[in-house]
Structure 1
Amino acid sequence: MKEEKSELWEWTKAFLIAILLAVVVRHFIFSPATVKGESMMPTLHDRDRMIVDKVNYSLLEPKRFDIIVFRASPSENYVKRVIGLPGDTIEYKDDILYINGKAYEEPYLDEYKKQNMPGIPLTYSFSLKDTPIGRDTVPKGHLFVMGDNRGHSTDSRHIGAIPIEDVLGTAKIIFWPFKDFQMIK
């Protein structure tokens, strides 16, 4: 009888430890996220499921061109690409991205640029002053983010700069649908 209680207690402890580890990993280290909408196409598709690394931004600074998940409202998260870091000037002119006056390639947009009608830009010209930011530089503690599907993305051009503290993590792996399984670059 005593052996049965001991064995039951061991199984109970193992079960509780497993639950505790799962909660800690999901809450503080990795969590699943689902892409909603087409704002990140062609890189990510509607209903793609991915793993979000939550540790990265608690230890490191955001990097330009990371794909992040951030809290857009109390009930909704967005998935977008980091374009501007605090203090950066951002400008689009003739469908070319300029950060701090330097032109940047955006190879993740090549597929859409090929499909686009000649003479019609994928990304219309703007500067930060033309956005809700209304100033020359990305504010301290904030990020300027955009979706890859530039014509169909609600991003910093519309909602302003994103507080870094609202970033939940970086998208690392697409795991569903399984045919699209990949590490996100």
Structure 2
Amino acid sequence: MATKQKSEWLEWLKAIMIAVIIALLIQNFVFATSIVEGDSMEPTLENGERLIFNKIIYIVDEPKRGDIIIIQQVDKNYVKRVIALPGETVEIKNSELYIDGERYIETFLSEEISSKTGEFGPVHVPQDSYFVMGDNRAISKDSRNGLGYIQRDEIIGRSELIIYPISEWERTK
């Protein structure tokens, strides 16, 4: 009987170890978490919210306009929205965004925030670079003022889900 209990404990221990190893592999190579710091992504994301981001998506695909991405730079990670893609021209005039001369409607921004965007550009986004901004344009450190163009290899993932606080559980867009 003691041998049977010992065998059962070993099986449980193996199962737990396998589960831990799988969880670590998923966290390191597929999904990870990040915390939103500051108000630059309001109203979409708020300070202190925790996100799950997809680390593998940009191995098989390229960032798209509107994606909320995690950017890894030397000093810290940033959460921003992709506004313009490589080779595009960006301009903001009368608080309206223009990409390659055509007005781009930003449905994710409130009228109040959109009206505080100000003037910018035009600038041409270099190849293998992206132009990003926070949704709270008046206070965001982004491609306009501090972050510059984001290199492709600085993008470590796409935000997928708000996991904390639980009342905010939803996909990010």
* Count of residues paired in the alignment: 171
Describe the SS at the equivalent of 2:108: helix
Is the counterpart of residue 175 in structure 1 residue 163 in structure 2?
yes
Compute the displacement of 1:3 (Å).
Answer: 3.4
| Structure 2 equivalent of residue 132 of structure 1 | none
**Partners in 2 of 1:170 and 1:20 — Cα distance?**
24
| Structure 1 equivalent of residue 26 of structure 2 | 25
Describe the SS at the equivalent of 2:161: strand
Tell me the TM-score normalized by structure 2.
0.91
| Structure 1 equivalent of residue 131 of structure 2 | 144
**Partners in 1 of 2:126 and 2:144 — Cα distance?**
14
**Partners in 2 of 1:146 and 1:73 — Cα distance?**
19
Q: Which runs of 5+ in 2 are unaligned?
A: none
| Structure 2 equivalent of residue 161 of structure 1 | 149
**Partners in 1 of 2:154 and 2:19 — Cα distance?**
29
Is the counterpart of residue 88 in structure 1 residue 76 in structure 2?
no
Once the two structures are superposed, the pairs formed by residues 10-49 of structure 1 within 5 Å of their partners are 10-49=11-50
Correspondent of 2:119 among 119, 125, 141: 125
**Partners in 2 of 1:64 and 1:49 — Cα distance?**
22
**Partners in 1 of 2:74 and 2:143 — Cα distance?**
14
Describe the SS at the equivalent of 1:107: coil
Amino acid across the alignment from 2:47:
D
**Partners in 1 of 2:42 and 2:29 — Cα distance?**
28
**Partners in 1 of 2:10 and 2:162 — Cα distance?**
39
Amino acid across the alignment from 1:148:
D
Compute the displacement of 1:11 (Å).
Answer: 2.2
Tell me the TM-score normalized by structure 1.
0.85
Compute the displacement of 1:112 (Å).
Answer: 2.9
**Partners in 2 of 1:4 and 1:110 — Cα distance?**
62
Q: Deviations over 1:3-26 (max 9, x none)?
A: 344333322321221111001111
| Structure 1 equivalent of residue 107 of structure 2 | 107
| Structure 2 equivalent of residue 131 of structure 1 | none
